[in-house]
Each structure stands twice: as C-alpha cells, then as structure tokens.
Amino acid sequence: MGRITLEGVAKRFGETEVIPPLNLDIEDGEFVVFVGPSGCGKSTLLRLIAGLEDVSDGRILIDGVDATPLSPAKRGLAMVFQSYALYPHMSVRKNIAFPMRMAGLDEAEQKRRIDNAAKALNLTDYLDRRPGQLSGGQRQRVAIGRAIVREPSAFLFDEPLSNLDAALRVGMRLEISELHNRLKTTMIYVTHDQVEAMTMADKIVVLHAGRIEQVGSPLELYRNPRNVFVAGFIGSPK
Ligand code: ADP
Ligand code: MG
C-alpha cells in the first residue's frame, strides 16, 4: 500500500496558476524526492497530496482509490513538517502518542507502537523528557516518530532538515534513508537541496515554476538531463 497517482492535478490561488495540470505516478515503497528552487511549488504539491490544500483540477488516487474528496485524516498519509511542531509541555512519549490518542487507539496498542518507533529512532532513553531538553536532531526524530505510529501508507516530508546544521543534516539524511530501507513505506521528500535529492532518491521529480521538468533516477538525470534547467540544477555537464 502506498501507490499515489496524480491525474491532471492543478492548483490556482486566485488568478495565479501555481501548478499547471500535471501527471505523476509514485510506486508503492518508492523514495521520491521533489526538488527545485524556492517558490517552484514543491510544498504546494505536497500539501495537495496530503489534502491540506484542495486541487483546482484533476484527481489524486491513493492505492487506486480517488482520495481527492477525502480529508487529510482519511488519506492514511503522515506529514513530517520542517518546524518540529512538537508540544513543549508534553513528554516525548505523549507527543508521539498524540495522534493515536486522537484516533482512539487502546493503551496497549499505543504502547506497542511507541516502543517500536522509539527503538527505530533511538529515542528509548528520551521518552520521558520534554522537547526543550532535546537536541535539534532528537526533536526531528520525535516528529518522525509521531508519523511512524500512525502506520501511514506514505510519509510526506517537507524540507525536514532545513533547520539543522550541516553536520547533523548528513546524519539525519542517513537515518531517514535507513528508516525507508527498514519500513519500505513510500516516502515523498521535498527539498531544494540537490545533494539530498541525489543521495536519497529512488526517483527524482525536478520542478520548475510548478511544472515537472523531468522524472528519473539520480543516475538518469545526471547522465541524461532533458534540458539546460535540469542539467544546471542537478549539476551534470550538459
Ligand atoms: P516551494 O515550496 O517550492 O518553495 P511553494 O509551494 O511554497 O513553493 O509556493 C509556490 C508558489 O505558490 C509561490 O509563488 C508562492 O508564493 C505561491 N503560494 C503558495 N501558497 C500560497 C497561498 N496560500 N496563496 C497564494 N499563493 C501561494
Ligand atoms: Mg516549500
């Protein structure tokens, strides 16, 4: 589970067409990176998939079902934000449990999922701390933990590492890649950072002014950029 298909999806804000109609197929279990310069529509596209924005045209299918009319909660996806959006007054355990409490899961199931997420993210020793007592990297892990316990069919990341310093970013990239290897759940990862795209993606979607310039593996884009924009952005010598 975790196949996402965009059919003629477009977004306008008032008169401005931010995303002209586009098609995109994301396979189950793929790590897909949306990359492009600031303002090109990456976040908007991710928010359309999450259901945080309504499409102006087109349909979004999740595992073959038309999800376009569904609220974010009904889509079975989990978004990890750039700002940690943790509750400062709650322990790590309570922060991670929050979406499960909202969903009314029983205590035993909550505990099982928290323990699994904490183990996967090396947070076992930090469950009783508050977010303010954690490092930036640990806080980002808690935010990911809160997504994991929902057992989503896909994770949506919007520039999750942009608040971290360079050294920490490298470590967190590896952790997210490892998490993907372990969970084998579809991940869509938005970044303006070419290095993140090239090192993390199974499939890169290069965006420019709301349009998809090219879709391909890092190697395909590097070896065979379709145009000067892709070549310049990915850094290959065309
Ligand atoms: P990115 O994430 O790639 O930096 P965004 O998706 O945030 O780009 O924005 C794409 C374009 O859409 C920008 O020109 C931005 O100003 C515009 N935009 C985004 N959200 C809104 C909104 N709610 N209302 C009007 N314009 C918006
Ligand atoms: Mg953005």
Q: Which ligand is nearest to the CA of 34?
A: 1
**Identity of residue 204:** I
Q: Which ligand is nearest to the CA of 36?
A: 1
10-residue mean pLDDT series, the chain (238 residues):
96 97 98 97 98 98 97 93 82 95 93 95 95 91 93 95 86 93 96 94 97 97 94 74
Asked if 121 contacts 115 with a C-beta cutoff of 8 angstroms, the reply is no
Q: For residue 110, what is the enclosing H or E element? A: helix 107-120
Q: Which ligand is nearest to the CA of 47?
A: 1
Q: What residues are in contact with ligand 1 under a 6 Å CB criterion?
A: 13, 18, 36, 38-44
Ligand 2 being an ion, which residues bring their Cβ within 5 A of it? 43
Identify the pLDDT of residue 164: 83
Identify the pLDDT of residue 236: 62
Ligand 1 atom closest to Cα of 45? 6
Q: What is the CA(156)–ligand 2 centre distance, in A? A: 12
Give, in degrees to the nearest 5, the angle at Cα 225 between 223 and 226.
140
CA 182 to chain centroid: 16
pTM of the model: 0.94
Which of 44, 162, 192, 193, when mutated, tests ligand 1's pocket best, judged by the most ligand atoms within 8 Å of its CB?
44
Task: Tokens for 199, please give them.
Answer: 């090192």
**Identity of residue 49:** I
Q: What is the CA(227)–ligand 2 centre distance, in A? A: 23
Evaluate whether ipTM surpasses 0.85: yes
Identify the pLDDT of residue 233: 84
Query: Which of 68-92 are b and which e, b meaning 16 or more Cβ less than 10 Å from the residue's Cβ?
Result: beeebeebbbbbbebebebeeeebb
Identify the pLDDT of residue 47: 97
Q: Atom 26 (ligand 1): residue with closest C-alpha?
A: 13
Between CA 19 and CA 43 the distance in angstroms is 11
Q: For residue 223, what is the enclosing H or E element? A: helix 218-223
**Helix 166-183 and helix 136-148: axis angle, to 10°?**
20
Ligand 1 atom closest to Cα of 38? 4
Phi, psi of 64 (to 5 degrees): 80, -5
Cα torsion 199, 210, 155, 142 to 10°: value is 80
